[in-house]
Amino acid sequence: MTHWEYWPTWLVYSPVVFYFFLLSLRARSPFFFTLANPDMEMGGLYNCSKYRQLKKLPENLIPKTVFLQSGASLDTALKALETQNIDFPIIAKPDRGERGTAVKLIRDGSQLGLYLQESKSDVLLQEFIQSSFEAGVFYYRLPSENSGKIPSIVLKDFLTVIGDGKSNLKDLVNEIPRGRLVSKGLFKDGRLNPEEVLAFGEEKLLEPIGNHNRGTKFLDGSHLANPELIRFFDKTSHQLGTFFYGRVDLKAPSMEDFIQGKGIKILEINGVNAEPAHIYDPNAKLFDGIKTLLKHWGIIYQISRENKHLASSTGSIKEALDHYNRWRKIKKIA
């Protein structure tokens, strides 16, 4: 209750909704945002293919990735992994999905088989980048300008516990407020043994997926933005085609490499659904967070207005509903 980063999305976004309606009236369309990233489905708001964006980038910038259509067999998946020279563990995720839905670390063929059986949507299998440094870089560029801005960087502090030589893993998790909120999900699939006792001082990573709703702490790293990073993302933006607004989730060998734009592996590209996630730093204030969200929707409006020449019209109600219904089906399955 006292930490707004855990509040329901609809509550935090209620002031933003009113601003969105105002912008829609100015643009004479509630789908003006689709022009912010014209080559992404619905501008990247929902039901957007991750693979479609990743394959536009040079191979050295992305993890080795396999795309599997819905219903693919385990044999097909294993052959594709072998062809791409991808070894376990791997990351499996729906091609269309948000906020870490159904993203899993898969350690062997049997786990992959179960994942494919449960999944009824297109799936991405990616090599697991072992680096512990993960970040989300928010980038936008006005179409009238050659260079963009990085107003937000979020650093991801993964959920871990340190043993005391006496308490079991479940007790250690429940001692951490952030751990208590995700405790049920952590032990659900049997990956972790709740009765395990860690040696004194032993540290254990509980969740390798860097999503806020899985216990990862989001820290404000916006001060790390620098000309080298801006140049890197300017180039990435042009490689993606008509990409002007969104957050790029990535890993790098270290923070030092990241700052210099070296060794970066882009995991995912998010469009207008992306948040400047530094606002969820535990020390961030609610008013500042809402103010930032309002500012960013103003940026979406400005980019969309400049991009009117790239499309004959914004998205239609029929198109929006079609994408929405397909997206809802994927969410239910996941």
Q: Does residue 50 lie within any of the structural domains?
A: yes
Mark whether 273 and 288 lie in a shared domain: yes
The residues, ordered by sequence, that sit 6+ positions from 2 with a Cβ below 8 Å of its Cβ are: none
Contact 247, 137 (CB under 8 A): yes
Q: Does residue 212 lie within any of the structural domains?
A: no
Element (H, E) at 9: helix 9-27
For range 218-234, the mean pLDDT:
96
| Residue 333 pLDDT grade (very low, low, confident, very high; cuts 50, 70, 90) | very low
| pLDDT value for 312 | 46
Distance, in Å, from the CA atom of 29 to the CA atom of 23, rounded to the nearest integer, reads: 9
In this predicted structure, the answer to whether residue 44 has a pLDDT above a threshold of 80 is yes
User: Per the structure, how many domains does the chain have?
Assistant: 3
Contact 211, 277 (CB under 8 A): no
What percent of the chain stands above pLDDT 90?
70
Contact 30, 324 (CB under 8 A): no
CATH assignment at residue 143 = 3.30.470
Contact 99, 213 (CB under 8 A): yes
Whether omega before 151 lies within 30 degrees of 0, making that bond cis, reads: no
Mark whether 103 and 222 lie in a shared domain: no
| pLDDT value for 41 | 85
| Residue 202 pLDDT grade (very low, low, confident, very high; cuts 50, 70, 90) | very high
Mark whether 148 and 51 lie in a shared domain: yes
Distance, in Å, from the CA atom of 138 to the CA atom of 249, rounded to the nearest integer, reads: 9
Cα–Cα distances in angstroms (integers) from residue 29 to residues 36, 122, 177, 294, in the given order: 13, 31, 43, 18
In this predicted structure, the answer to whether residue 132 has a pLDDT above a threshold of 60 is yes
> Tokens 């989300």 belong to which residue?
136
The pTM assigned to this predicted structure is 0.89
Structural domain boundaries, residue 78: 65-128
| pLDDT value for 309 | 74
The residues, ordered by sequence, that sit 6+ positions from 317 with a Cβ below 8 Å of its Cβ are: none
CATH assignment at residue 92 = 3.30.1490.20
Mark whether 147 and 251 lie in a shared domain: yes
Mark whether 150 and 85 lie in a shared domain: no
For range 156-170, the mean pLDDT:
94
Return the closest-CA partner of residue 292 out of 156, 136, 138, 100: 138
Higher pLDDT, 91 or 215: 91
Distance, in Å, from the CA atom of 242 to the CA atom of 107, rounded to the nearest integer, reads: 36
Mark whether 148 and 44 lie in a shared domain: yes
